[in-house]
Amino acid sequence: MSLTLPDTATTVSAPAPAGAGPAPRTFVVRLPAGLRLLNANRRPHHHERARFTRELRAAAMEAVSENPTLMDALAAASPGPLFQRAHILGVLHPATQRRADPANWYPSFKAAVDGIVDAGVLEDDDHTRLVGPDMRIGSIVKGAQLVLHVRELAPGEQWPDLGPGVA
């Protein structure tokens, strides 16, 4: 069986809510398959954990830099960040069919989100600028792979709607 791995990063448009303006911008950032991922259930030595975190963060920055559409959008937004606010859906494409809890992979998603912040997609990943990452399990990819779906949020928009009074 052969697997065809997707491009490093692509751009897609999410459907606009009824009565809304133009569709929000959405970018898909695919980290390379085969990276060593961090799992909350494992307890590597702190030096090893720091190295894996740096590698994931750098891989996310590189995935952003290898996407011409995303780089054009970043250049147009310069000197500020691309998005003021965003929602991130993080998809873990596991290497096997074994059962998995996507929340256990949060350290990997966090490092990847920090990498796209470093690349200038968002100014920061605090709660005022970012909803998520919401973590899901995707289809099997040889070597496992993280994919971030970054969707721009309009001012005041919640994704999903978290109700009144939620920043």
For 1-11, write each residue's pLDDT tens digit. 333 334 444 44
At 67, is the secondary structure helix, strand, or coil?
Answer: coil
- pTM of the predicted structure, to 2 decimals: 0.81
**Per-residue pLDDT averaged across 129-148, rounded?**
94
- Under the banding of pLDDT at 50, 70 and 90, the label for residue 145 is very high
Q: Apex CA 65: angle with CA 64 and CA 69, to 5°?
A: 75
Return the exposure string of 59-87: e unless at least 16 CB atoms fall within 10 Å of the residue's CB, then b. Answer: bbbbbbeebeebbebbeeeeeebbbebbb
Using 50, 70 and 90 to split pLDDT, how confident is the model at 157? confident
What's the pLDDT at 12?
45
Rg (CA), the chain: 16
State how far the alpha carbon of 31 is from the alpha carbons of 15, 21, 157, in Å.
Answer: 24, 31, 28
Mean pLDDT of 59-78: 93
Three-class SS of residue 44? coil
pLDDT tens digits, 119-134? 999 999 998 899 989 9
Residue pLDDT, tens place only, 36-67: 999 998 888 899 999 999 999 999 999 999 99
Q: Which two tokens stand for residue 33?
A: 């398959």
Contact 24, 153 (CB under 8 A): yes
pLDDT at 115 over 90: yes
